[in-house]
Amino acid sequence: MKVFRIAASLVPAAALLFALAQPTVSRADDAPAVGAVAPDFTLSSQEGKTVSLHDFKGQWVVLYFYPKDFTQGCTIEAHNFERDKAMYDQRKAAIVGVSVDSVDSHQQFCTKESLTFKLLADPDKKVVTQYGSVQKAGENVVAARNTFLVDPQGKIRKVFMKVSPAGHSAEVLAALDELKK
């Protein structure tokens, strides 16, 4: 009888350890708010170089999170950002995409789709979690389609949650113009 009581008392502890071992799925409520300092990070780009958010100090940053390389919506979104890249350059805004895909996947995606802006690999899901941009896709955890507009001083000035990929680049450009007035 005592053995049963000891074993039963271990069940909650085992459940807790299992839960802690699972990837965190953050909610939009966990995203940094407008006016907050954007959480800094360092990740590897498709070029295999480390890139930090603070590397962009002094310019605007379009920090966009997307679920997966080579998928339809993500390809549309990336193509639209690439199509509008000259307009972002005129506004002194860098485009930086983040997903949980690998550096190798990003290299292949950029090559196939002729993308010239930075794509950063977050396979450990630390940055997507910091930015409240984690979602489940079946059995996998991926980045949610969210965008943060970070000003030259490193503050978040606009947050776009659960964006539609087709018109998103135009929406971000309009927000940049409005914020720069």
Question: How far apart are alpha carbons 157 and 124 in whole angstroms?
Answer: 26
From the list 74, 115, 127, 142, the catalytic residue is 74
25: DSSP letter: -
Amino acid at 53: L
Residue 74 is among the residues annotated as catalytic for this protein = yes
User: Which among 109, 122, 136 is positioned nearest to 65, based on CA atoms?
Assistant: 122
Name residue, tokens 């002094």: 58
- Angle, helix 72-83 to helix 168-179, in steps of 10 degrees: 40
Question: Which contacts of 87-91 are long-range, i.e. CB under 8 A and separated by 24 or more positions?
Answer: 87/173, 88/62, 88/173, 88/176, 91/60, 91/173, 91/176, 91/177, 91/180
Q: Say how many CA atoms lie within 13 Å of 136 toward its Cβ.
A: 6
The catalytic site residues sit at 74
